[in-house]
Chains A and B, each alone.
Chain A
Amino acid sequence: MRNYQLGRALAHGAVVSALAVSLMTTSVLGQSVDISKWSPEYVRSIAGTEEFDTAEACGSVTPLDYEGKLTFWYQGVFEGDPDLLRQYYKDFFETFRATYPNIELEEQALTYNDLLDKFRTALLGNAGPMMVRLQILGGVEFASKGYLQELSPEDVGWKTEDFWPGAMKSVMWEGKAYGIPTNNETMAFIWNADIFERAGLDPEKPPATWDDVVAYSKQIHDNLGIAGYGLVARKNAGNTPYRFMPQLWGYGGGVFDEARENPSYQAIELNSPESKRALQASYDMYVRDQSVPVSALTNQQADNQPLFLAGQVAMMISHPSDYNVMLDLQAKATGGDAEKAQAVIDNMRYGQIPTGPDGRRAVVFGGSNIHILNPEYVDGGEVDEQAAKAMVCFWTSPEWSLKMAYAGSNPGNLNGFKTKWMKERLETIKFLDVTTSMLPYGVPFPALPETPEIMNIIIPDMLQNALTGAMTVDEAAEDAAEKVRNVTSGEGL
């Protein structure tokens, strides 16, 4: 196993840093973070250089002997997460209870795909929890509707400049902050070097562009009869936009102008020639070449992981945690399957996500944010703000924002990179460098209330309409653009 293309990553990072800085900063956020310095080398240089005492820091926000009650829903671990993360979640709540023994905590974990539905339903009946941790695209929707309290890092003892500006954008609505980022990540690209070699490709050279992905996928399928690229196009699953948007942005397209400097989210670009070209690439792989899993329309990433481990998928966009998930799955395999899985892990390579035809590289700037609700929408009509701030402080602390993102993400609080656990993490989590090197290319989802519907329903619908032949590529893109127009104007079904 090796981390690949780091040199090239740094070179490209320098070229795009100006654009990236503009994408990751915002004028409303005071001092900005210089993202260009966040190279893997920089991360290594600061890891383990500072110590933080979480109990002491949060004790100054909410006294440790505070008596109160807290209800809390959060996007927790799911079937696609590694076991390591489950342990950290367990440790977190045990530690919180030990630190704040007089806060009666009722927490509830929900999966990525269920949380929004349940939270929306509860809010309609004024039966929400006192606080919630949501996926990054959810915050603006609820802030714009008045469900959330204003909440900034300063409210719990941290500084705004200690968080990625791009992440802070996702909690801003009309110039005010309504949450704090807990973790942020960018994905990378993984491939199976052994399959590449058997298919006649250079095993150490990943596809440089999305056009290469299409060509490689076809070559792998034609030569070996297995899927080349792990396409994901399921509806109502967060995995789909996380895997298609990098392709869309890479080709120069977008839903709006979200991948550009200072996006305004006014003009709809889903039907632009660039966007259609990105959709055409998926069509070529699924329909023309039949070089991706046929099950892509019902698959999510958790379905592709075992296929990759079984050597049936050669490459895919991958979450940083996928390596650990593969190890977990391998440990559960027996006999010949275990050996086969180990061989795949040994041949696993991580690289940067391919670029579009003009060298544009992009990835979703993902993560989660933590929020406190307004009392009128909470079950019982009251929010214990002190207890809630204790939890917010705890989760967004350098220690726990790092530990809760140990295998799958990066700490929302940038001071987490300076802790001893980051140093330990760099030594134990393979390929962390590659995902960190993708940070400069991160594009936040549009900060609009309608974004969850656009990303979870309209984008997958567009893909499915084109890939099933229900519509042509042109028609599917135009139809999706029309739907975005309707949803943003409040018209149509």
Chain B
Amino acid sequence: MNAVTDHAKSSRAGIQSENVLQRMWRQRADYLYVLPAIVVMLVVIAYPVYYTIELSFFKTPPGLQLRDKVFIGVDNYSAILSSEVFWRVTLNTVIWTLASTLIAFVLGFGAALALHRDFFGRGVLRAILIIPWVISAVAASYIWKWIYHSDFGIIGIVLVQLGIVDRPPNFIDSVGTVLPSLIVVNIWREFPFAMIMLMAGLQTVPDQLLRAAQVDGASAWQRFWHVTFPYLSGVSTVTILLLAVANFNSFIIPWIMTGGGPSNASHIWITHIYELAFGRQRWGVAAAYSVLLFIIVMTLGYFYVRALSGNERKENRA
């Protein structure tokens, strides 16, 4: 036994004294396995990221070809940061992302808890609740556009016929209501995702632990807060991060429903970047915007990976 332990210790000591190259050589088979994926990522991700960063330091006047771009250093960044539109679009993006993420998560959590209980028709209800997530975002956007229609939308007509309002509410043609209206659509689209993730998480909560807590006299709230919730913390973190990244990168719903309008009131970063690049051909400015967005999303990605690693460590400890 001691001989085995000594051998293991000396192996570990040998590995620890290796430099990076030696370690890479020892793990060369692992690198070979992931090589195809790395090559693909270099081509489709690393190069575009590099090119976007490079482009962000150039001016690209709309009357010139991209190859005639002019180097201007960090002027695009300073122009963006001093622009009123940037801060307005950033505020929209923060509101959009936080509200969509948190409310979708809370609703998804509630739905997951409700559907975790066994009752008649649970399967059908679960299937119905998943519908918003599985239907095409493009189709959903067009449908919601008509539901919200400021003159003939079904919500407005119902409210008028019930005598609640005199004329249909203005959902998406007003600077004050357009963003909340779009967020509602986004939450409707996304809460089933949170629901599915958390339903999977609920399967991992040990029944015997809940029953033991019940025998010990814990109330329903205490069982949820002290037993269920800690088990869901990992999946909750991952779900929130995934929702946040998806919402930072949202495009379809605001672009199709309003095109960022009226009066830029529903522009979020991605729609604004798209308009700058493809509508106005300000490639350099759009690239600088993209770099800033990339930094934010990568930061979220870092926390996502940390959350995943934390989960793995917890599982290993268990």
A487 near B261 with CB under 8 A, answer: no
Interface size on A, residues (CB 8 A): 39
Q: Is the CB of A464 within 8 A of B151?
A: no
- How long is the Cα–Cα vector from A140 to B48 in the complex, in angstroms? 29
Whether A293 sits at the interface, judged by CB under 8 Å, is: yes
Task: Check if A456 sits within 8 Å of B259, measured CB to CB.
Answer: no
Number of residue pairs spanning A and B whose beta carbons lie under 8 angstroms apart: 98
Classify chain B's interface size: 35 or more
Task: Assess whether B281 is in contact with A453, with CB atoms less than 8 Å apart.
Answer: yes
A296 within 8 A of partner (CB)? yes
How many whole Å from B103's CB to the nearest CB in chain A? 24
How far, in whole Å, are A294 and B283 apart by their CA atoms in the complex? 34
User: Which of B261, B283, B285 is in CB contact (< 8 Å) with A297?
Assistant: B261
Which B residues touch A298, using CB under 8 A?
Answer: 145, 150, 172-173, 257-259, 261-262
List of A residues within 8 angstroms of B168 by Cβ: 294
Which B residues touch A493, using CB under 8 A?
A: 79-80, 83, 85, 276, 282, 285
CA distance A490 to B263 in the complex (A): 23
Question: Nearest-CB distance from A200 to chain B (Å)?
Answer: 22
B150 pairs with A294, CB closer than 8 A: yes
| A312-B80 contact given A145-B65, A236-B279, CB 8 Å threshold | no
Once A465-B263, A493-B79 are accepted as A-B contacts, the answer to whether A295 and B63 lie under 8 Å apart by CB is: no
B165-192 interface with A by 8 A CB criterion: 168, 170, 172-175
- In chain B, residues 248-269, which have Cβ atoms closer than 8 Å to a Cβ of chain A? 257-265
Contact B149 A457 (CB under 8 A): no
Chain B binder among A20-28, A117-125, A249-257, A405-413: A117-125
CB-CB nearest in chain A for B278: A117
- Give every chain B residue within 8 A of A465 (Cβ-Cβ): 263
A234: Cβ under 8 A from any B Cβ: yes
CB of B47 within 8 Å of the partner chain:
no
Interface residues of A in 454-493 (CB under 8 A from B): 456-457, 460-461, 464-465, 467-471, 487, 490, 493
Closest A residue by C-beta to B172: A298
Q: How near does chain A come to B278, taking the closest CB pair, in angstroms?
A: 4
A470 and B263 contact, Cβ closer than 8 Å, known pairs A453-B281, A457-B275 = yes
Give the docked Cα–Cα distance between A460 and B259 (Å).
11
Question: Which single residue of chain B is at the shortest CB-CB distance from A458?
Answer: B280
Partner of B151, one of A120, A145, A294, A460: A294
In this assembly, does A201 line the interface, its C-beta being within 8 Å of a C-beta of chain B? no
1/0 contact trace for A264-300 toward B, CB 8 Å? 0000000000000000000000000000011111100
Asked if B201 is at the interface (CB within 8 A of a chain A CB), the reply is no
User: Is the CB of B66 closer than 8 A to any CB of chain A?
Assistant: yes
Q: Bound complex: CA of A468 vs CA of B283, how far in Å?
A: 29
Contact A307–B63 (Cβ < 8 Å): no
Interface of chain A residues 137 through 164 with chain B (CB within 8 A): 144-147
What does the 1/0 interface line of A95-129 toward B look like (CB < 8 Å)?
Answer: 00000000000000000000001001100100000
Q: A464 to B285, Cβ gap below 8 A?
A: no
A227 within 8 A of B: yes
Docked complex Cα distance between A471 and B260 (Å): 17
Nearest chain A CB to B218 CB, angstrom units: 52
| CB neighbors of A among B55-84 (8 A) | 59, 61-66, 79-80, 83
Tell whether, in the assembled complex, residue A468 and residue B152 are in contact, meaning their CB atoms are under 8 Å apart.
no
Q: How far is the CA of A90 from the CA of B266 in the complex (A)?
A: 39
- Bound complex: CA of A487 vs CA of B170, how far in Å? 33
CA distance A422 to B59 in the complex (A): 50
User: Considering the chains assembled together, what is the distance between the CA atoms of A235 and B262 in angstroms?
Assistant: 8
A465 to B175 CA separation, bound complex (whole angstroms):
10
Distance A487 CA – B152 CA, assembled complex (angstroms): 37
Q: Which of A292-320 contact B (CB under 8 A)?
A: 293-298, 307, 312
Q: Chain B residues near A468: list those with CB within 8 A.
A: 173-175, 262-263, 265
Most buried by A among B257, B260, B262, B276: B262
Q: Nearest chain-B residue to A226 (Cβ)? A: B151
Instruction: Give min CB distance, A310 to chain B, whole Å.
Output: 8
Distance (whole angstroms) from the CB of B142 to the closest CB of chain A? 11
Inter-subunit contact B280/A457 (CB<8 Å): yes
Name the contact of B279 in the complex, choosing from A145, A312, A453, A471 (C-beta under 8 A). Answer: A453
Q: Do residues B262 and A295 form an inter-chain contact, with CB atoms below 8 A? A: no
The 8 Å CB contact of B152, one of A233, A307, A469, A490, is: A307
User: Chain B residues with Cβ under 8 A from A294's Cβ?
Assistant: 150-151, 168, 170, 173
Min C-beta distance of A138 to chain B, whole Å: 12
**Contact, CB under 8 Å: A293 / B151:** yes
Task: Contact check, B276 vs A490: say whether CB atoms are below 8 A apart.
Answer: no
Chain B residues with CB under 8 A of A487: 62, 280
A312 contacts B63, C-beta separation under 8 Å: no
Bound: A467/B262 CA distance, A:
9
Question: Interface code B95-136, partner A: CB below 8 Å = 1, 0 otherwise?
Answer: 000000000000000000000000000000000000000000
CA A422 – CA B150 in complex, angstroms?
Answer: 41
Q: A212-239: contact bitstring with B at CB < 8 Å (1 yes, 0 no)?
A: 0000000000000001000001111100
- Given the known A-B contacts A145-B64, A227-B151, are A120 and B261 also in contact in the complex, defined by CB atoms under 8 Å? no
- Does A449 sit within 8 A of B, measured CB to CB? yes
A234, B64: Cα distance in complex, Å:
27
- What is the minimal beta-carbon distance from A73 to any residue of chain B, in angstroms? 16
CB proximity of A471 to chain B, nearest CB, Å:
8
Q: Is the CB of A145 within 8 A of B263?
A: no
User: Does A83 count as interface, using CB distance less than 8 angstroms?
Assistant: no
Shortest CB-to-CB span from B279 to chain A, Å, is: 6
> What A residues does B258 contact at CB under 8 A?
298
Q: Out of A145, A147, A464, which one reaches B261, CB within 8 Å?
A: A464
Q: Are B260 and A235 in contact (CB under 8 A)?
A: yes
Once the chains bind, are B280 and A453 in contact (CB under 8 Å)? yes
A450 at the interface (CB under 8 A from B): yes
Residues of B within 8 A of A464 (CB): 261-263
The distance from the CB of A483 to the nearest CB of chain B, in whole angstroms, is: 10
Complex: how many Å from CA A120 to CA B281? Answer: 9
Shortest beta-carbon distance from B39 to chain A in Å: 20
**Residues A117 and B279 in contact in the complex (CB < 8 Å), given A298-B258, A461-B263:** yes
| A297 with B278: CB separation less than 8 A | no
Between B150, B175, B259, the greatest number of chain A beta carbons within 10 A of the residue's beta carbon is seen for B259
A456-B259 Cα distance, complex, nearest whole Å: 12
- With a 10 A CB-CB cut-off, give which of A144, A227, A297, A469 has the most chain B CB atoms: A297
Which residues on the B side are within 8 Å of A490 (C-beta)?
59, 61-63
- On chain B, the residues within 8 Å of A453 by CB distance are 62, 279-281
Bound-state Cα–Cα, A323 to B39, Å: 56
A295 with B62: in contact, given A461-B263, A493-B79, A493-B85 (CB under 8 Å)? no
Known: A295-B150, A461-B264. 7 other contacts (CB 8 A): A294-B168, A298-B261, A464-B262, A464-B263, A465-B263, A471-B263, A493-B83
Query: Which chain A residues have a beta carbon within 8 Å of chain B's beta carbons?
Result: 117, 120-121, 124, 144-147, 227, 233-237, 293-298, 307, 312, 449-450, 453, 456-457, 460-461, 464-465, 467-471, 487, 490, 493
9 contacts between A and B (CB under 8 A): A117-B278, A120-B278, A144-B63, A147-B65, A295-B149, A457-B279, A470-B262, A493-B83, A493-B282
Shortest Cβ-Cβ A-B pairs, 8 listed = A490-B61, A294-B150, A470-B263, A297-B262, A295-B150, A464-B263, A117-B278, A297-B173
